[in-house]
């Protein structure tokens, strides 16, 4: 379930292993507002839709991989073994193993003007977008330990970093001293808006009407699972909200696997691809194990 990077990477491995796979995808990848996928080995700066198009085309020769471009609305365990998924088009599908490659949802703060700039000049991840805005006036919209860490991280891309904490920054005296020493300004005045020209950030607007000119901002955004289905099925989540998986991608529900952003706090396309491959090997290994069990059962009978 989920046919973006992690799901398609898993489908490729399983298709090549001659397994029967149904990829269900509602096509709302996390980076859908981004112009380019940066930092993906051999595909640096490729538009997300183009990358997905290549992945889908390369799956065409593997006839055991099929697609349902719809949302999965429910999943339940099947008596005996396996799962049944209900799709939004009214059909159902039974499967012995299930892979959640459903990604995360960015819960953007409800600040005027922020949403249209998201992924274009207001970002979540300096590793993805820092290079494109290097040496420019940057803002870190964040507070607490995470905000402090983000500000220090951003200094790798620009010497002009201002922390806009939108209220009390919740920094310790030591953290404040470090930022001052590194010439990082801190503005704790409440933020009321992000002002842009098209998709380009121009300024951050504070209560009282003052503004701060910035070319780009990095925001620490609260994240949650994009799909409620892993939790509804009983998959355990950790304290950060990631699905708990074993090294081979198995969740706490036997037969249900998970991969991609949904299982980690490190969010990169290359890592999602690798994690999809890893879970697919886990599923294929389990299928081989099932076959071996049946062979032994047959040997017992004869």
Ligand X SMILES: Cc1cc2nc3c(=O)[nH]c(=O)nc-3n(C[C@H](O)[C@H](O)[C@H](O)COP(=O)(O)OP(=O)(O)OC[C@H]3O[C@@H](n4cnc5c(N)ncnc54)[C@H](O)[C@@H]3O)c2cc1C
The end-to-end CA distance of the chain, in Å, is: 39
Q: Would you count residue 30 as binding ligand X (CB under 6 A)?
A: yes
Among 26-34, 135-143, 145-153, 207-215, which window interacts with ligand X (CB under 6 A)?
26-34
Q: Would you count residue 6 as binding ligand X (CB under 6 A)?
A: yes
Report the residue from 38, 165, 250, 277 that binds ligand X according to the rule CB under 6 A: 38
Report the residue from 13, 40, 165, 230 that binds ligand X according to the rule CB under 6 A: 40
| DSSP state, residue 237 | B
Q: How far apart are CA 165 and CA 188, in angstroms?
A: 5
Report the residue from 10, 12, 19, 31 that binds ligand X according to the rule CB under 6 A: 31
Q: Would you count residue 175 as binding ligand X (CB under 6 A)?
A: no
234: left (phi over 0), alpha (psi -120 to 50) or beta: left
Kindly state the tokens that stand for 34: 């981004």
| Nearest of 38, 213, 202 to residue 129 by alpha carbon | 38
For ligand X, the closer CB: 119 or 179: 119
Report the residue from 13, 21, 34, 184 that binds ligand X according to the rule CB under 6 A: 34
Report the residue from 14, 24, 184, 279 that binds ligand X according to the rule CB under 6 A: 24
Among 12-20, 27-35, 144-152, 207-215, which window interacts with ligand X (CB under 6 A)?
27-35
- What's the Rg (C-alpha) of the chain? 22
Phi/psi for 233 (5° steps) reads: -75, -15
Report the residue from 39, 113, 144, 241 that binds ligand X according to the rule CB under 6 A: 39
By Cβ distance, which residue is nearest to ligand X? 260
Q: How far apart are CA 46 and CA 24, in angstroms?
A: 24
Q: Would you count residue 35 as binding ligand X (CB under 6 A)?
A: no
Report the residue from 21, 161, 184, 226 that binds ligand X according to the rule CB under 6 A: 226
- Judged by DSSP in three states, 235 sits in coil
Size of the site for ligand X (CB under 6 A): 42
Q: How far apart are CA 234 and CA 46, in angstroms?
A: 37
Report the residue from 15, 19, 102, 255 that binds ligand X according to the rule CB under 6 A: 102
Q: How far apart are CA 80 and CA 140, in angstroms?
A: 52
Ranges of beta strands (E only) in the chain are 21-24, 65-68, 72-77, 83-87, 92-95, 98-100, 104-106, 122-123, 138-141, 161-164, 185-187, 191-197, 200-206, 211-213, 216-219, 223-225, 256-258
Tell me the per-residue interface mask from 238 to 277 with ligand X, x by CB under 6 A, - otherwise. Answer: ----------------------xxx----xxxx-x-----
Residues of the shown chain interacting with ligand X in the complex, contacts defined by CB under 6 A: 1-7, 24-31, 33-34, 37-40, 71-72, 101-103, 106, 119, 124-125, 128, 226-227, 229, 260-262, 267-270, 272
């Amino acid at each position: 379930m989920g046919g973006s990077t992690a799901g398609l990477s898993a489908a490729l491995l399983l298709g090549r292993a001659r397994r029967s796979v149904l990829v269900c995808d509602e096509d709302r990848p996390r980076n859908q507002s981004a112009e380019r996928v940066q930092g993906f080995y051999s595909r640096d700066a490729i538009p997300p839709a183009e990358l997905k198009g290549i992945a889908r085309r390369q799956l065409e020769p593997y006839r055991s991989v099929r697609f349902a471009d719809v949302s999965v609305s429910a999943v339940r365990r099947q008596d005996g073994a396996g799962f049944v998924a209900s799709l939004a088009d009214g059909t159902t599908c039974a499967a012995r193993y299930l892979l959640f490659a459903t990604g995360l949802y960015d819960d953007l703060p409800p600040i005027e003007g922020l949403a249209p700039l998201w992924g274009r000049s207001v970002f979540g991840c300096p590793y993805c977008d820092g290079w494109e805005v290097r040496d420019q006036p940057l803002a870190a919209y964040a507070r607490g330990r995470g905000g402090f860490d983000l500000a220090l991280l951003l200094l790798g891309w620009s010497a002009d970093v201002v922390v806009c904490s939108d209220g009390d920054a919740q920094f310790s005296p030591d953290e404040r001293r470090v930022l001052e020493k590194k010439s990082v300004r801190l503005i704790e005045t409440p933020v009321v808006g992000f002002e842009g020209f098209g998709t380009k950030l121009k300024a951050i607007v504070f209560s009282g009407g003052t503004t701060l000119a910035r070319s780009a901002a990095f925001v620490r955004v609260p994240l949650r699972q994009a799909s409620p289905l892993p939790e509804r099925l009983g998959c355990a989540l950790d304290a950060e909200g990631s699905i708990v998986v074993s090294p081979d991608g198995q969740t706490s529900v036997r037969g249900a696997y998970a991969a991609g952003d949904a299982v980690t706090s490190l969010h990169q396309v290359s890592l999602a691809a690798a994690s999809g491959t890893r879970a697919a090997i886990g599923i294929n290994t389990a299928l081989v194990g099932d076959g071996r069990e049946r062979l032994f059962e047959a040997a017992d009978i004869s």
